[in-house]
Amino acid sequence: MRRGSIVRMVVYGVLAGTVASLVAVAVPWLPTSASEQMDRIVFTFWFTTVICIGIFAIVAAIIVYCVLKFRAAPDDERDGPPVHGHTGLEIAWTAVPAVLVTAISIVSAIVLAQNEDAGDNPLRVNVTAAQFAWSFEYPAENGEGGLRSGELVLPVGRTVRLRLNANDVIHSFWVPEFGQKSDAVPGIDTHLVITPTRIGSYSVVCTELCGLGHSTMRAPVAVVSEEDYDAFIARLASNGGGSGEETGEGIFASAGCGSCHSFEPAGTDSQVGPALDDLAGAAENAGLSLEDYVREGIVDPDARIAEGFQAGVMPKTYETTLTDEQLDRLVQYLVEGQS
């Protein structure tokens, strides 16, 4: 090849690489990382992407160069020259991709192993997914579990190992800024390791289509200082989080009622299910006391379906997942909150 051809090919390569790099770097493809695991995922992403950009630039440059250089003149009807393989080139385009793909595999394997390693003493939080809410169970200060909340609060810098489970159908746990994602499957425990690095507020997003309320199945996540985490646990313990001494408001939140229902005292505004602020008329039509009507709506949601809503959407499991006492408090909370 003449020197001028090579120079031109290099120019095309640099141009193609510049355009591809601009698209890659100028667009914010990934959320800002808030965990060590996400940092590693971002590194793997860019490691792979940079290799791809390099390969793209070389291939694009050769194509553009060949299209311009070897195009036939309009009146040229002759066959092209007979060109056979080039052993050196073939070895190169086999060996170079093999090395690159191996490098990507090694980096990915290391990152995967590191991202699954929870270390010696992780904080252990149980995550339960149910249509259409998340609930979180924390270890109490004495090391025993049982403190429940509808919010995921994590101390910054401490590795947490989440144990995921689902009550009904398959859901998927994902906090974009944490990077890690895993399905929550009924009957199986799955695990996720997260080491939060940035104090702030995030959101758990369900990423497995799980029913009508799927798109509203979110839960707040707060990454806080160690002291704030201890205060949160102390507050949960004093509220009796999940231990039967919880308030009706706490049960409404941890059972996930607000993911589907609007209820003014709880400050929720979802419209997957009927609003709960004005049930007196409906109770009267049903010929029930307000309390019985509310209770029936929780334990046997398909007994009566409000106009404009469908049967079979609300889980029928609350009679078993809530204790009698929790159920009483929840009913009381709803009855007292009527406008």
Full DSSP string of 295-339: HHHHH-TTSS--TT--TT-S-S-HHHHS-HHHHHHHHHHHHHT--
Contact set with ligand CUA (CB under 6 A): 129, 132, 171, 206, 208-210, 214, 217
Q: Is the Cβ of residue 99 or residue 209 nearer to ligand CUA in the bound state?
A: 209
Q: Which residue, chain included where needed, has tokens 């914010």?
A: 28
Full DSSP string of 261-302: -EEGGGTEE--SS---S--HHHHHHHTS-HHHHHHHHHH-TT
Q: Give the nearest distance from C-beta 313 to ligand CUA in angstroms.
A: 13
Q: Is the Cβ of residue 171 or residue 261 nearer to ligand CUA in the bound state?
A: 171
Q: Give the nearest distance from C-beta 166 to ligand CUA in angstroms.
A: 8
Q: Is the Cβ of residue 161 or residue 214 nearer to ligand CUA in the bound state?
A: 214
Q: Give the nearest distance from C-beta 207 to ligand CUA in angstroms.
A: 7
Q: Give the nearest distance from C-beta 215 to ligand CUA in angstroms.
A: 8
The DSSP symbol for 196 reads: B
Residue 80 class from Cβ within 10 Å (0-12 exposed, 13-18 middle, 19+ buried)?
exposed
Q: Is the Cβ of residue 12 or residue 178 nearer to ligand CUA in the bound state?
A: 178
Q: Is the Cβ of residue 41 or residue 129 nearer to ligand CUA in the bound state?
A: 129
Backbone dihedral angles phi then psi of residue 162, each to the nearest 5 degrees: -90, 135
Q: Give the nearest distance from C-beta 171 to ligand CUA in angstroms.
A: 3
Q: Is the Cβ of residue 156 or residue 210 nearer to ligand CUA in the bound state?
A: 210
Who contacts 75 (Cβ-Cβ below 8 Å, separation ≥6)? none
The residues that bridge with 137 in the sheet, in sequence order, are 126, 148
Q: Give the nearest distance from C-beta 221 to ligand CUA in angstroms.
A: 16
CA dist 58 and 62 (Å) reads 6
